[in-house]
């Protein structure tokens, strides 16, 4: 079973040649590349958040195995839904699902269930895939769509992912797909997002979830980000870095009601 693209032609072009050219313009070419355990990258339309995503993908060494954690915007399917099929199709071709790593995650994370329904319409994971294909053509993925909201769940899943990676025995990148504050003035969004970013830079997953809840920061992928931080810390992470921050207002010129985007690395 191959997952068909749900937002090709909407969030990014469905034309293969144009998509390659767009990614060539968006993805920076830093050298040397940084080896990291995890990243946070945005998932809006490429016209809005593509430059922020491209900044982080251009600075890191993408290994062959990547776990993508995305929020469940539609509320369909399991609380931690693993795509059960063999691949994901984009205009750049089909990416294989890494079944050995996926099975290890299921082994160490009882919360995870095979469930295709959660992935049918979800864009948060899909928009990461062309960036991964562009930077690492032979990449394989483990797509996990997360629809729960408690720190206990994040902690259990993050620790299970870390155990799975340790047993897998190869380099793995964990991508947490998230936008930042939604539909607020740019200056207010920046103030709120700075609070969330500070918790990421402090490698404080529980603090990140708490500040988003307490300060009503509408970071849609906070659960994937918290889970990634838990896993990265279990794997020995000791440093986080902000790569890029921007808002939709930077593109539209309208700062009255923006969506904000951040890209960070954890190593």
Question: What domain range includes position 161?
Answer: 2-266
Is the omega angle on the peptide bond into residue 32 within 30 degrees of 0, that is, cis?
A: yes
Beta strand 182-184 with 258-266: parallel, antiparallel or unpaired? antiparallel
Percentage of the chain beyond pLDDT 90 is: 98
Q: If DSSP codes are grouped into helix, strand and coil, which group holds residue 151? A: helix
- Domain with 227 in it: what CATH number? 3.40.830.10
Tens-place pLDDT, residues 181-203: 999 999 999 999 999 999 999 99
Handedness of CA 120, 124, 130, 136 (dihedral sign): negative
Tally of structural domains, the chain = 1
pTM, two decimals, is 0.98
Q: What is the DSSP letter of 33?
A: P
Q: Is the pLDDT of residue 30 over 90?
A: no
């Amino acid at each position: 079973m191959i997952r068909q693209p749900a937002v090709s032609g909407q969030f990014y072009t469905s034309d293969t040649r144009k998509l390659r050219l767009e990614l060539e313009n968006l993805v920076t070419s830093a050298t040397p590349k940084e080896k990291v355990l995890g990243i946070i990258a945005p998932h809006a339309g490429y016209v809005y958040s593509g430059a922020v995503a491209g900044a982080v993908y251009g600075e890191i060494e993408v290994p062959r195995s990547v776990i993508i954690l995305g929020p469940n915007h539609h509320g369909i399917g399991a609380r931690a839904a693993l795509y059960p099929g063999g691949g994901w199709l984009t205009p750049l071709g089909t990416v294989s699902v890494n079944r050995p790593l996926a099975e290890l995650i299921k082994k160490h994370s009882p919360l995870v269930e095979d469930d295709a329904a959660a992935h049918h319409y979800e864009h948060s994971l899909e928009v990461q895939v062309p960036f991964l294909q562009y930077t690492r053509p032979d990449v394989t993925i483990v797509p996990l769509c997360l629809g729960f909201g408690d720190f206990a769940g994040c902690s259990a899943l993050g620790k299970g992912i870390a155990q799975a990676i340790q047993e897998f025995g190869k380099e793995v990148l964990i991508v947490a797909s998230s936008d930042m504050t939604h539909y607020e003035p740019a200056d207010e969004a920046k103030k709120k997002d700075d609070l969330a970013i500070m918790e990421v830079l402090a490698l404080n997953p529980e603090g990140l979830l708490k500040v988003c809840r307490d300060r009503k920061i509408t970071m849609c992928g906070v659960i994937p980000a918290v889970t990634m931080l838990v896993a990265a810390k279990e794997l020995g992470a000791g440093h986080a870095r902000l790569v890029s921050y921007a808002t939709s207002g930077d593109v539209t010129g309208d700062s009255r009601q923006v969506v904000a985007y951040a890209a960070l690395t954890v190593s």
